[in-house]
A and B are shown apart, each in its own frame.
Chain A
């Protein structure tokens, strides 16, 4: 049944029909009709941000913590260009997002009008798909199609660029039949090939040194996928490691958990990847942070790769059994097929493998030397983890990008999916604070903590004001070493400790800054006072900037340096990291 309304009203109506409760945005000239339509309803709640990049990261945090689509609304020109970083971030990490950008009227497009930019041109390569809506008749279909594309298959961001005259134009709104949308060219394959799943299970049944290598795809496939993964791990008895994006899909408290793998992954996870005979990759993409040197990557294993995106298969690493499909469906099939073939885990056959793993574990690669006089960043995260567990609340962690992010991944442990939000693929400094705002909007009663660095957090610091406006009690836990720590670490590794612009000078007084925004500021530099300070942060019912002054030159270890294979991982007791990488490795990122 069609209903007569303006384009702007259609936008709101379509959001309502899609079950959208919150959108993150910033108004402007070209977006005014949509804002006017929004003003006249109360189903969709709008969160006013301070910068459009903040809106995109909030939508990402919202999406990743709920499994729903994040929605952003920005104006033309600078509104759209400011959203580009977040769109790219969402594309790299496969986050479902619909971003509505306003555009100058169709009659002015191409005339270099005020606040005009070629939004579809600019965002073509940083979205899964994008639209310029030229006729109001197309708007209902495009609105719903955008949600379909953003949330199905490999999720990603979709931009809808709506000129101002289309927002004013009257047309018939209808809710299209989603089954008929894009039926010809867009049909993601969700069910894995039965023969391939059978072949994969047969390989697993013969494995002597198996490992599950899981990724963000398990999280994206929904909580059921995590359940199936746990079931499959229990049935098989195999060890499990995960990428940065996949943390939480498998519980860190489970004895089969090996910790994160990759550049800053654990010694046991990386060695097991190197020495395994069957690798079962579920929803990960052999990213270069994971594989290290490709020609020495897991040289003796047969590889199974489950991915919903066919172009991920054999892109980086040649695999033996590719399975294209949704992780949830494929994992549940794997469980069924395994059960049909055996009722025993391979405990005895893989006992020597576990013995070996225990020897690697004994190295304690996440160990560090604690101090009585200065707060070690790892210690700060450990205390944060231990104390947050006792709050009786659901705990969500977001991060910025850098050393603190890796320490958080290593020392904060996750037992549930969707509770860890971080910028993995793009590595966007400034992601964590707005992402925390988005998470807190979705989970008002939860404890939401942004583990941050003093450099990253300043990139989107203005969203503190959003947190204050909407009374979102996010906790920003800044590991302040007055360095861009990871840059400094790489300069030690690769550039003779010449610290070109990697130190934070003229830092603001974060306590005063928090107060200026209307939040609370806490500073702590004494390890003995840390617990009390963290408790004070938790007790405050409002946004907190917690400035933890930590050891300045701590290195983030273990680390697989550029151009090295997994079995040449640097451990924490290495004295001088400056001598490890050769000339060839220096050219790499």
Chain B
């Protein structure tokens, strides 16, 4: 009956993982106290979970609460463990698996520096317009664009800028919120 259940992580008997990995976005509400980020990140490294993206910022100043949005890639079984292990941390209030709990909105912001002249520069501007990227800095030989959207939209924009003189990119990581009237 249990023969198909293959746990991971036992040093005693290491079996091959049979479940497919999935990408999930978790929203974690925590006390904004010193070391909280280290606690969360330490948990991931100590237990061998993979972090794809992580953002953190105080969201309720009065109650000193921060919200951490973390994107993980794991099997369904490990995803449940990640949620339970996070909830076990004393300063963690709530953990929501936004991917599992229904529709959610995911956004990321990127600042992208592109340098060039002539036809490249004109093409850069046309594409930026198509992606609704704002120009936040300009010189005669460069632009800095601010682009917001789903991560794959930003990926596409960066890919298009590559041949047009892409200099560097900075991304905030993912922020996510559930759809509908309910809060966390």
Contacts and interface: CB of A to CB of B under 8 A. Distances in A.
A288 B11 contact: yes
Interface string B14-45: 11000000000000001100110011001000
Interface stretch (A92-100, A306-314, A468-476): A306-314
A163 B24 CA distance: 41
Contacts of A309: 88
B35 A318 contact: no
Interface stretch (A53-61, A170-178, A214-222, A295-303): A295-303
Contacts of B92: 185
A294 interface: yes
Contacts of B88: 309-311
Contacts of A293: 12-13
Given A125-B46, A294-B15, A299-B2, A316 B10 contact: yes
A431 to B, nearest CB: 21
Nearest to A316: B7
Contact of A317 (B5, B12, B38, B39): B5
Interface stretch (B77-85, B119-127, B159-167, B176-184): B77-85
Given A128-B90, A185-B93, A589-B12, A294 B6 contact: yes
Given A588-B14, A589-B11, A311 B2 contact: no
A298 B1 CA distance: 9
B116 interface: no
Residue with the highest number of chain A CB atoms closer than 10 Å, among B9, B12, B90: B12
Interface string B76-102: 010011001101101111000000000
Given A125-B42, A297-B2, A310-B87, A317 B35 contact: no
A293 B15 CA distance: 9
A198 to B, nearest CB: 22
A355 interface: no
B90 A149 contact: yes
Contact of B3 (A132, A288, A292, A295): A295
Nearest to A127: B90
Contacts of B39: 124
Contacts of B6: 294-295
Contact of B12 (A132, A289, A300, A315): A289
B184 to A, nearest CB: 13
Contact of A563 (B13, B31, B42): B13
B13 A294 contact: yes
Report whether over half of chain A's contact residues are helix, strand or loop; otherwise say mixed. Answer: loop
Interface in A27-44: none
A186 B90 contact: yes
Nearest to A188: B88
Interface in A140-194: 149, 182, 184-186
A369 B46 CA distance: 45
Contacts of A120: 35
A243 to B, nearest CB: 14
A242 interface: no
A124 to B, nearest CB: 6
Contacts of A124: 35, 38-39, 42
Given A129-B90, A184-B93, A185-B93, A318 B2 contact: yes
B178 to A, nearest CB: 20
A315 B42 contact: no
Interface in A392-448: none
A115 to B, nearest CB: 21
Contacts of B34: 132
A293 B10 CA distance: 9
Interface residues of A, number: 39
Contact of A588 (B13, B31, B38): B13
A45 to B, nearest CB: 30
Contacts of A125: 42, 46
A297 B93 CA distance: 35
Contact of A310 (B5, B31, B38, B84): B84
A120 B30 CA distance: 18
Interface string B136-162: 000000000000000000000000000
A481 interface: no
A288 B81 CA distance: 17
A314 B80 contact: yes
B93 to A, nearest CB: 4
A580 to B, nearest CB: 16
A291 interface: yes
Given A184-B93, A288-B10, A293-B13, A311 B3 contact: no
A562 interface: yes
A292 B12 contact: yes
Given A124-B35, A311-B84, A588-B13, A185 B90 contact: yes
A299 B3 contact: yes
Contact of B81 (A149, A311, A317, A589): A311
A121 interface: yes
B90 to A, nearest CB: 4
Nearest to A288: B12
Interface in A250-301: 288-289, 291-301
B114 to A, nearest CB: 39
A292 B2 CA distance: 14
Contacts of B91: 185
Contacts of A311: 81, 84-85, 87-88
Residue with the highest number of chain B CB atoms closer than 10 Å, among A125, A149, A589: A125
Nearest to B30: A185
Contacts of B38: 121, 124
Contacts of B85: 311
B4 to A, nearest CB: 8
A298 B5 CA distance: 12
27 contacts: A121-B35, A121-B38, A124-B35, A124-B38, A128-B90, A185-B92, A186-B90, A291-B10, A291-B12, A292-B13, A293-B12, A294-B6, A294-B13, A294-B15, A295-B5, A299-B1, A301-B1, A309-B88, A310-B88, A311-B88, A313-B84, A314-B81, A315-B7, A315-B81, A316-B7, A318-B2, A589-B12
Interface of A: 120-121, 124-125, 128-129, 132, 149, 182, 184-186, 288-289, 291-301, 309-311, 313-318, 562-563, 587-589
Given A129-B90, A299-B3, A587-B14, 5 more contacts: A132-B35, A292-B12, A294-B5, A295-B5, A315-B81
Nearest 10 A/B pairs, CB to CB = A288-B12, A311-B84, A129-B90, A185-B93, A318-B5, A293-B13, A288-B10, A589-B11, A316-B7, A310-B84
